[in-house]
Amino acid sequence: MSEPIHPESQHFEPTPDERRQWRAAFTGEASGGHDRPTPERWFEPAAQESWTGNTPPTPPTPPPASTSSSHGFGRGVVGLLVAASFAGSILGAGGTYLALRASGSLDSATAAAPTSGGHRVAIVSDSSTVIAAVKQVGPAVVQISTSDGAGNQSVGSGIVYDSRGWILTNKHVIEGAQTISVRLADDRQLVGSIYGIDTLTDLAIVKIDGVAGLAAAPIGNSASLQVGQLAIAIGSPLGAQYPNSVTTGIVSALGRDITVAGGNSNAPDSVGLHGLIQTDAAINPGNSGGPLIDASGKVIGITTAQAQVAQGIGFAIPIDTAKPIMQQALAGEKLSRPYIGVTYELIDLGLEQQQNLPLAQGAWVHSVDAGGNSMSAVTAGSPADLAGIKTGDIITKVEGQAIDPLHRLEDVLMQYTPGRTVSIEVYRAGGYLTLEVTLGTRPATTN
């Protein structure tokens, strides 16, 4: 029966130990035999002997064979030592495996992707993760080609989010289009129509009809995104000849604000986009409107722009921003966004110190003219004006949600439909007030 292994004896290699009676029997030391490393040191390099001159010393002569009873004893000891060494190597390997398993080193090449049933499926290696995610979303990615009737054509992308033919894309992809052609992943070509254009962001809904068995992409959430997680973009970079191209990267940053040019001659002014996902997954002309997906194969954003003065910097609209208009389209409602009618600056530490503000976060209702002079920041007759919000107020909460750099005022408001009455907390003259505001409908020309 083998003896139990004590904690203090669990090493990854045997510890040298002197057993003089075995050493003498094995090496012949008792009869004047030469010294050599014992089996307990087989895992260590043999000691190097030094010599002088040009010729190394003659190797030691092994002891002569003996017919005495010690011969049988020596062979028995050798067999025992070989068996012990073999058992030690097995235990050492097992210990190494257990140590690596405990440290998580053996798990670095695997990932677990949740399925719709709540179970987790092991996916080996990052490339397998990407392959699985693309297989899940790829069939729902479409290519959108448009013509303005004056000979100008453009190509973008879109994502089918409902199997009845509802497609989410960018506003600038279809704005001003007279004809829209939708190319499915299986190369079928269909006529598309504009259902509606978002008045808040660079988003639009396109509809196609008469398609059976249309694949729809699973929609994820963007509220829980973290910087550094895997991001995969799918689209048609550089035109119609490159449909469903895949690029990978990470979520580089969150909450980014950018300014882009207006989409056409009817909207020549610049447009501000807020709260965007920044990614280093390659985004090129033609990717616009396509999905940004995570490692589990769910859509977390809609790619919308790339930096013109740098490489590896692209932006996507968070999918949570798009959900309200996606739901409105499915319900047959006109696309609309809530509106209260204030101009504000989001407070951060720098603004607080520069303007000597009483609070470290919130939406400061404030506006200045071209000359830097303060002016009214509340639109006359707007929901905010009717509810009693004044220039200089700091909006601190909407329905209990604090307004801060990660929760901008318009981002919090957009989860509510026009006509809804919400409670808004404001800070004014050293105290807090709670006002009831009935949300209006955001005008199409409001940025």
| Three-state SS sequence of 300-343 | EEEEEEECCCCCCCEEEEEHHHHHHHHHHHHCCCCCCCEECCEC
Give me the helices (H) in 104-166, please. Answer: 125-137
Rounded distance between C-alpha atoms, residue 250 and residue 143, angstroms: 24
3-state secondary structure (DSSP) of residue 403: coil
Single out the catalytic residue among 222, 288, 296, 336: 288
Which residue is catalytic, options 198, 202, 294, 411? 202
Tokens of 26: 């094995």
- Partnered with residue 316 across adjacent β-strands are 277, 303
- Rounded Cα distance between 315 and 295, Å, is 18
Contact present, 214 and 164 (Cβ < 8 Å) = yes
Answer yes or no: 172 catalytic: yes
- The length of the chain is 447
Q: The tokens of 119 are what?
A: 């179970």
How far is CA 427 from its chain centroid?
36
CA distance 360 to 81: 74
Report CA dihedral (408, 410, 412, 416) to the nearest 10 degrees.
180
With b meaning 16 or more CB within 10 Å and e meaning fewer, what string describes 132-167?
A: bbbebbbbbbbbbbbeeeeeeebbbbbbbbbeebbb
Q: How are beta strands 193-197 and 271-279 bridged, if at all? A: unpaired
Catalytic residue among 154, 172, 222, 336: 172
Catalytically active residues, by annotation: 172, 202, 288
